[in-house]
Amino acid sequence: MIISFIGGFGMCGFFGVIFDKNNDNLGKILNKAGERLSYRGYDTAGIAIFDKEGGYEILKDVGTIEDVSKKYDYLSKSGYKGIIQLRWATFGSPSKNNSQPHIDCKKRIIGAHNGNIINTHLLISELKNNGHNLKGTNDGEMIIHILEEEMEKSGNMENAIIKTNIRLRGDYAYIVTEIERERMYAVKKGSSLFLGKADGYICLSSDLISILDHTDLVLPILDNEFVEFTSDSYKIKSLIDGNEIHRKPEINELDVEDIKLGNYRHFMEKEINETPEKFKHLIDVIKEHNEYNKAIDVLMKANNIYMIGSGTSYHAARLGTYYFSKLNGVNTNATFASDFIERYGNCLEDGDVLIAVSQSGETKDVKNGVDYFKKNVKGTVIGVVNVLGSTLAYSADIVLPTVSDIEISVPATKTFINQCGVFLYLALKYKGSGDISDLEMMPEMLSQFIDIEQSRIDSLAEELKDITDIHILGYGIMYPIAMEGALKMKEVMYIHAEGMYSSEFKHGPLAIVYDQYPIIFLSTLEDKDMIVSHINEVKTRLGKVITFAPHDSDLEEISDVFIPLDDANYFSSPILAGIGLQLLSYLMGIKSGKNPDKPRNISKTITVD
């Protein structure tokens, strides 16, 4: 059977591999996997490497995979099994002691994790009282010492893993090995995990792409499962009772060649330019994918429709509310996933529908909302997700794939545009006319916009590259795009950028405007009169007005810089403005010396509360 899921993303990441004999290229293999995992964390990096003679090394430190690998000469290392981990710091500051992998007190067990153990502080006290010598305060270290305790009690790793699960609180995955045994174990409880069966060895990772460098025979490990594996065999077992679970690897058709940088400077640039092609692919899939028809039927019968997402995915959901309202007169409720339970938890009814949006399918806040909904009402969860092997894809009743393929750069670009496309399709089909021409014209419009307007946006980026503050204002359907554009500038430029509803700017924030203070206005032609009024409020205070809107002589005349959104209509204008702001943020970033693919302090997906 051939499958086409895309690998999960998350905070931190690890990769483990085991051969039947010493391999001179083991260090190179671990280093390559670390490069694949680099978008998941760049606070610390580390490897554990083992040879057949019983020797081992743990080489770890603060810094990127490139820095730490060079310091310890990873490329020269050999052995028969190894682990690499990259960390995005949560519990424990970025330090050598908090970097992973970790080793137990008796120097028998070594392992690494990703995710979050929320009872870490209690475990630290408990383990210290039990006499453990803790090197740091990282939650991954606590796992190793708890396994050590449980091994002492039960005498074997399988029982220790099951008992350790009872003592841990949170969402996580980890990999562990006993130094003297030719096998590894890995556990999944919330964070993505994939096993790959290659020719003569087995590897396992948080990230699918690092597996596909070795084999296309892939097995996703599911929640509440753990796997024991050697160089040529594996067993999956329940994390609850230890019973064996029989499941075979399947062929994954994702081509690793598709995710090479090619002639582009950064993955963010590449992924923006891939958007027209990916949007067209989305339309093709929608036409053939019965899940979309099922979703329409469910939505038309829903008592209430809720939409949740985090960050960029929330902005796509928020745009979806305008599509449903303007096309169908249907009220939908979009909120931050983190606020869903607090805001709507007591309002949910049987027959409600929850649309959960997450490019990775592993976002913890989204998972919390889905779990609460499924536990408390008899309703339907629709997952809008890019990663078909993810937790959300498995927990949703209906899965709507955004088919954007892998997205390496931390700032979301093509995945956001395709999420918007999904919501536009749902709203158009809900209308019942069957006319999706607004959707079908988008790939060509996106392609032309990138080709024609990139030089104009590049000039604007040159003007704005040194700013420290900016406001992006949108009216009506453009408001979610204003928020998303501001988020992109925060991610890429590290500046204060605020996306606001344009009518609200006069209620206080107008005080910030000074001579040449930059403000970007987003407008449809339908909202032109309102935006002109809001522009004048800024122009009279000498602010610099930049406008993204369809061709219009009045708007062009009143603006200091005008970026035309071709002849886009009311429903396509937000999508074109979205990619325009992605381009602007990217170009500003590289002109100011930033690496847009790896913004500081953040990770591709947040798998903690």
Q: Is the pLDDT of residue 256 over 50?
A: yes
Instruction: Establish if 608 belongs to a structural domain.
Output: no
According to the model, what pLDDT value does residue 10 have?
A: 45
Does residue 609 belong to any structural domain of this protein?
A: no
Pick the last residue of a domain from 405, 440, 475: 440
| pLDDT higher than 70, residue 6 | no
Instruction: Give one DSSP letter per residue of 204-253, joined into a string.
Output: EES-HHHHHTT-SEEEEPPTTEEEEE-SS-EEEEETTT--EE----EEE-
Same domain assignment for residues 480 and 432: no
Residue after which a domain boundary falls, among 237, 258, 279 = 258
Q: Which helix (H) or strand (E) holds 19?
A: strand 13-23
For residue 605, is it within any domain? no
Tell me, yes or no, whether 501 lies in a domain: yes
Q: For CA atoms 188, 193, 197, 200, give the dihedral sign.
A: negative
Q: Are residues 125 and 267 in the same domain?
A: no
Please check whether residues 208 and 276 belong to one and the same domain: no
Please give the pLDDT value at position 603. 60
Long-range contacts of 434-443 (CB under 8 A, 24+ apart): 436/283, 438/569, 438/571, 438/572, 439/283, 440/283, 441/572, 442/279, 442/283, 442/572, 442/575, 443/276, 443/277, 443/279, 443/280, 443/283
Q: What is the pLDDT of residue 580?
A: 98
Domain boundary, last residue among 232, 258, 284:
258
168-188 average pLDDT score: 95
Q: What is the 3-state secondary structure (H, E, C) of 426-480?
A: HHHHHCCCCCCHHHHCHHHHHHHHHHHHHHHHHHHHHHHCCCCEEEEEECHHHHH
d(CA 166, CA 173): 14
The whole-angstrom separation of Cα 279 and Cα 438 is 13
105 is known as an active-site residue: no
pLDDT score of 190: 80
**Average pLDDT of the residues of the chain:** 93
Residue % of the chain over a pLDDT of 90:
82
Q: Which of the four pLDDT bands, split at 50, 70 and 90, describes residue 485? A: very high
Is residue 391 domain-shared with residue 455, that is, in the same domain? no
Count up the domains in the chain and report the number.
3
Catalytic residue among 12, 420, 429, 594: 12
Assess whether 26 and 76 both reside in one domain. yes
Q: Is residue 604 part of a domain?
A: no
In this structure, is residue 182 part of a structural domain? yes
Mapping DSSP onto H, E and C, the string for 66-131 reads: HHHHHHHCHHHCCEEEEEEEEECCCCCCCCCCCCCCEECCCCCEEEEEEEEECCHHHHHHHHHHCC
The answer to whether residue 298 scores a pLDDT higher than 80 is yes
Give me the pLDDT at residue 547, please.
98
pLDDT at res. 361 = 86
356 and 237 share one domain: no
Same domain? For 31 and 141 the reply is yes
Q: Which two tokens stand for residue 437?
A: 């021409």
Q: For the sheet containing 544-549, what is the strand order?
A: 496-501, 469-474, 518-522, 544-549, 561-564
* Burial of residue 375, with CB atoms counted within 10 A of its CB: 0-12 exposed, 13-18 middle, 19 or more buried: exposed
Catalytic residue among 77, 237, 544, 604: 604
pLDDT attached to residue 609: 53
Tokens 């040159």 correspond to what residue?
Answer: 462
Residue 40 pLDDT: 79
Which range of residues forms the domain containing residue 579?
451-597
- Are 44 and 159 in the same domain? yes
pLDDT score recorded for residue 607: 55
Tell me, yes or no, whether 159 and 200 share the same domain: yes
Residues 290 and 194 in one domain: no
5: confidence class by pLDDT, cuts 50, 70, 90: very low
Higher pLDDT, 431 or 414: 414
Please tell me which of 184-188, 219-223, 383-387, 407-411 the model is most confident about, judged by mean pLDDT: 184-188
Do 287 and 350 lie in a common domain? yes
Tell me, yes or no, if 128 is annotated catalytic.
no
Q: Is residue 607 part of a domain?
A: no
Does residue 300 belong to any structural domain of this protein?
Answer: yes
Q: What is the CATH number of the domain that holds 336?
A: 3.40.50.10490
- Tally the residues of the chain: 609
What is the rounded distance in angstroms from the CA atom of residue 306 to the CA atom of residue 356? 8
For residue 289, name the pLDDT band (cuts at 50, 70, 90): confident
Residue 3 is predicted with a pLDDT of 38
Dihedral sign computed on CA atoms, order 308, 312, 315, 317: negative
Q: Are residues 461 and 516 in the same domain?
A: yes
